Amino acid sequence: NVKLGGLGPDHEAMKEKKQKLKLQKEYSRQIKEYNMKNITFAQRVPTKPQVTSSVTRQKALEYAKKIPRPKTFLSRQSDKGVTQEGVLPQTSDGTRFPEIPSLETLRSRHEKEKEVVAAFKALHIL
């Protein structure tokens, strides 16, 4: 029962290979589905309890209460409190807005700066 070679294709061997590849693909698809089910189940289980994070947060809050706060520029300015026009406007947390210079002082400053720029242009520095 020995079949000697020929020039044409071997249809029986090709059918066997095709069937073998089909079975391999089916098996890999089943394994993939099984693994996907196990992965989604594993992701639902929490790895760490949430209690420890709240404990560390409490410790951090206690530490933050104990450290001294730096003195800011706004706190020194809020001690003045009263300007020429009356009381400075306050924000909702109690800090006061800085004083706004009047229009006349801004105009005079602008004129002085214009004179300085004109002097520089005359000297050909700019």
Within a domain: residue 82? no
Within a domain: residue 15? yes
Q: Indicate the number of domains in the chain.
A: 1
Among the residue ranges 13-22, 42-51, 60-69, 78-87, the one predicted with the least confidence is 78-87
pLDDT tier at 32, thresholds 50, 70, 90: very high
Residue 86 main-chain phi, psi, to 5 deg: 130, -145
Confidence (pTM): 0.29
Give the distance, in angstroms, between the CA of residue 102 and the centroid of all CA atoms in the same chain. Answer: 41
Within a domain: residue 73? no
Structural domain for 39, as ranges: 11-44
Dist. CA 90–CA 96, nearest whole Å: 4
DSSP conformation class of 82: B
pLDDT tier at 95, thresholds 50, 70, 90: confident
**R_g over Cα of the chain:** 42
Within a domain: residue 102? no
Q: How many CB atoms lie within 10 A of CB 61?
A: 9
